[in-house]
Structure 1
Amino acid sequence: MTEYELLKLIQEGENIHVEFKKSTNEITKDVYDTVCSFSNREGGTIVLGIKDNGDILGIAPNAVDHLKKDFVTTINNGEKINPPLYLQPEEYSIEGKIILVIQVPVASQVCRHRGRIFDRNHEADIDITNNSDMVYQLYARKSGSYFVNKVTRFQLNDLRSDLLDRARVMTTSRNRNHPWKTMSDEELLRSAGLILRDEERQIEGITIAAILLFGKDSTIMSVLPQHKTDAIFRVENLDRYDDRDVMITNLLETYDRLMAFGQKHLSDPFVLDGIQSVSARDQILREIFSNSLAHRDYSSGYAAKFVIEKDRMYTENANRSHGHGTLQLSSFEPFAKNPPISKVFREIGLADELGSGMRNTFKYTKLYSGGTPEFIEGDIFRTVIPLAPIAVEKVGPPDKHQDRTQDRTQDRTQDRTQDRTYDAILAFCIEPHSKVEILEYCGYKSSKKFTQNYLRPLLNEGKLKMTLPDKPRSRHQKYITVKNTE
């Protein structure tokens, strides 16, 4: 590293890959926490002799050799850093002051400092030792194999033959001579890498990827009870949602339902790609859905989401990250997270070559809304597509009869929703609860509207009462159901 590069690094400040430590006379314990977190995450640079805000303090000249020796001794001590690391601080002189720079590469094994596991999150070193889910994800990132390649003891009859037939039809519609056309179900699965042998357990069988793609719902739930995709339309009712579809099924039908949900709620304006008319909306949906389904981390319990809001739509899914922050089209390097699922998606036409989805999303978002999409890499991968106002607006001439019918339907729906909420509050408040607890239980965010629409009517009707009626605004106020004495 040159002096110019080091100054630039200091000027840019701390981030997920850079940490400053004062350590002017001795190395503090938190330096080794950072070594551990960098090793577990993506690697990074530690600079000793720098304050958190970037001010250069320098290391006491008579302490330089002592700091180097202590650092090297500690990281080679298996009782303190496990597995031991082999790092060497480099000495630099900046503005006449001595600083030490430690380059920490990402390791293939999980690193512990005094038995504790640390992970890097933005500018912080997080102790995740007692967070079993985060520790599991860390080990999964370090693993050389893919979670979806895990061999199960399920058999071919636990898969749906109609989905395998559908895959054949989809491949032959693109290539009349596709080899899957004449293969048996077992041959098709073997050719796609969905039947493997586990040498450690000495068994051969269908993989988790095969079950996700072609499994019966009961089979999927047996293997991955956390598997779920949630589609939400939230434009008018911001407290909850206007429409929702929860998908707990195979990836092919999940893709179909996501497409139908997006097409139902998003307009499809006339768009020209050169001289050819295209559906920019459908192209965007195809890319973001295939990306979310093919590249998510299925070992995680994080529920995948597709959300449409007034000015944007976005997807979120668990991710085995290979970087952090917003991806740039010019420097993006694609990485297959679940190769067997990606392969099937390419064969049946739901995806193209690796990396094309990001380019196509940029292209069609410009045509659809004039905006720029965002791809944000992390433990949760997010794709954000900006929307023009027309995208979620209802268009066309007014239909008075339809409007009246819709109004009556909406009134009945609101009445049923209101009655259910009343019943939920009264059942919940058999024991006294605060307003915050009731809000959280009922899934509402707006305290003012909730009080006006639900709490106040129940109080006025005498079905609910305050535990501190003389102090209605007390922060200790709770609400309890009035028992019917009839």
Structure 2
Amino acid sequence: MSDALDRYIQAGEGISVEFKRCGSQPGQDTFETICSFANRQGGSILLGVRDDGAVEGVSEASALNIERNISNVTSDPNLFNVSPLVEFERLHDTEGRLVIRVWVPMGPSLYAFKGAVFDRVADADVRVRSDVQITSMMARKQSYYSERTVYPWVTEDDLEMDLLGAVRDALRANDADHPWLSLSDGELLRAARLYGRDQLTGERGFNLAAVALLGKEGTILDVMPLYRTDAVLRRVETDRYDDRLVCRSNLVRAYDELVGFCEKWLPDSFVLDGGQRKSARDVIVRELVCNCLIHREFVSPHIARITIDGEGIRTSNASRALFAGPVTLESLDPTPKNPIIANFFTQMGRSEELGSGTKSLYKFSRLYTGKDPVLEDGDRFTAFVPVPPVMADAAGSKDDHDAATGAEGNGAVGGSRGNRTRAEVERVADDLLARSGSFAATEVSERITRVGERTVRRYLADMVREGKLVSDPRGRSTTYRAGNSADGLNGDR
């Protein structure tokens, strides 16, 4: 068996390798794979190999006709909307059986076979049906970074220029002699490449990177109507949340808001790194938030999400990756998604150079829980980092009231925070009773925005059992009024 054929057989089928049996002519599924390879990252089809890797071979007499058939079909405008490029290579195993390798490079167009668009997902050819998927595929094929798109109508009035003071503070903390510190506001924006010339139109002005980093909310909405990051805390039920932050702020502000949300709900744990005491949680949160903000595809309709649940913290954001699949230390091949935005964050000391962040995430995830993170790139970049067992136990419990109000723990849902939340619910309930004599749970949760309505209802149920409140079910809603022991709400606190 030739070395090349042996390597393909040993690797098995995947995102860029497909095995197919072949008689005198290739089947329709061969052309579906050609379409999917051209739409994804390219790949090789081995004709004459079964799915299990066993070589059956192709008739030597039929080889030329098979290659001609593939060339004719891929060139037929009635079958392929755009002709994908294909090349052939003939390989033989140790017993002399012929395998035809059909090589298909990734093409610049959106390819369709018989009116259907196919994409390669893992080792399967998947028919693409939604506009969102097609938009993601086109974004993936662009060699032009969307962050460089210039909007001539955007002026400094459309940006939060006052944020440059905080930017300079971060620059100074990261490098006291940073060259940007001596520049005026306008010079700093140009040095950061936030103002320039559009390579496609030739127009000059502020680009999408400037709007994303420093734009006012209205400006961001005009340029990126679907831009937002949805951060949620889910402790028990997957279809509801205990806390939520919908972040539409520019990236400079969003970083602090999202880091604060995640650090509030994840347990802190200090580890020794090179003899220094560091917070593993803080490093992990900052790496995940940075990646979610700066390496996303801003023109995609996919909404970026950060989810904290009983297993860990997960992020998901639109991406424009040339190569799809798991991201490991061995397979790490860093490619900048938004080099202008990434450089801005690096200068501020909020992110590391390409590749270093992933290595840091692996290192501190292992220190945090002894487990590796799970990272995968494609049309969406997804990341998962587990949490220490104390957090998982509290988050997965169906009766997490005990975790929130009982003995002190070392997680974010430990006793002291639970007691403070209970006291805050009592204070708001007391105020509502004084004002109107009764209230609904939604009125309490609206006043304590960091606490979900389910959590509020648990505390109110406790107060009913203690006699401090009386609940009055009314259809689908419940109202609460003072109970026989209502003095407990007013007296000893």
Matching residue's letter, 1:338: N
TM-score (norm 1): 0.78
The SS at the match of 2:385 is: strand
The SS at the match of 1:161 is: coil
> In structure 2, how many angstroms separate the alpha carbons of the residues matched to 1:182 and 1:99?
65
Conserved 8 A contact 1:72-1:88: no
The SS at the match of 1:50 is: coil
> In structure 2, how many angstroms separate the alpha carbons of the residues matched to 1:403 and 1:297?
38
Deviations 1:380-432 (A, max 9, x none): 11111111122465662867975863675899999535999xxxxxxxxxxxx
2:48 is aligned to 49
Is the counterpart of residue 311 in structure 1 residue 336 in structure 2? no
1:334 is aligned to 334
2:168 is aligned to 168
> In structure 1, how many angstroms separate the alpha carbons of the residues matched to 2:41 and 2:376?
16
TM-score (norm 2): 0.77
Is the counterpart of residue 215 in structure 1 residue 240 in structure 2? no
1:184 is aligned to 184
1:251 is aligned to 251
Matching residue's letter, 2:214: F
1:358 offset after TM fit, Å?
0.7
> In structure 1, how many angstroms separate the alpha carbons of the residues matched to 2:199 and 2:42?
32
1:40 offset after TM fit, Å?
1.7
2:36 is aligned to 37
The SS at the match of 2:61 is: helix
1:103 is aligned to 103
Conserved 8 A contact 1:76-1:86: no
2:441 is aligned to 416
> In structure 2, how many angstroms separate the alpha carbons of the residues matched to 1:229 and 1:71?
45
The equivalences for 1:75-474 within 5 A come to 75-77=74-76, 80-81=79-80, 82-93=82-93, 95=95, 97-114=97-114, 116-128=116-128, 131-152=130-151, 153-198=153-198, 200-391=200-391, 393=394, 396=408, 405=423, 416=441
My pick for the range that moved more, 71-80 or 101-110, is: 71-80
> In structure 1, how many angstroms separate the alpha carbons of the residues matched to 2:75 and 2:349?
51
Q: Quick one: structure 1 residues 290 and 11, their matched pair in 2 at CA, closer, same or farther if it must change by over 3 Å?
A: same
Matching residue's letter, 2:380: I
Conserved 8 A contact 1:371-1:387: no
> In structure 1, how many angstroms separate the alpha carbons of the residues matched to 2:12 and 2:133?
27
1:29 offset after TM fit, Å?
2.7
> In structure 1, how many angstroms separate the alpha carbons of the residues matched to 2:167 and 2:137?
34
1:186 offset after TM fit, Å?
2.1
Q: Quick one: structure 1 residues 254 and 184, their matched pair in 2 at CA, closer, same or farther if it must change by over 3 Å?
A: same
Report the identity percentage. Answer: 34
Matching residue's letter, 1:229: T
Deviations 1:367-388 (A, max 9, x none): 2222111211121111111111
Conserved 8 A contact 2:122-2:325: no
1:322 offset after TM fit, Å?
2.4
Conserved 8 A contact 1:43-1:105: yes
Deviations 1:109-140 (A, max 9, x none): 44443554332122332333x53332222222
Matching residue's letter, 1:146: Y
Deviations 1:242-271 (A, max 9, x none): 111110110111111111111111221232
> In structure 2, how many angstroms separate the alpha carbons of the residues matched to 1:403 and 1:207?
44
Count of matched residue pairs:
423
Conserved 8 A contact 1:365-1:372: yes
1:366 offset after TM fit, Å?
1.7
Matching residue's letter, 1:163: L
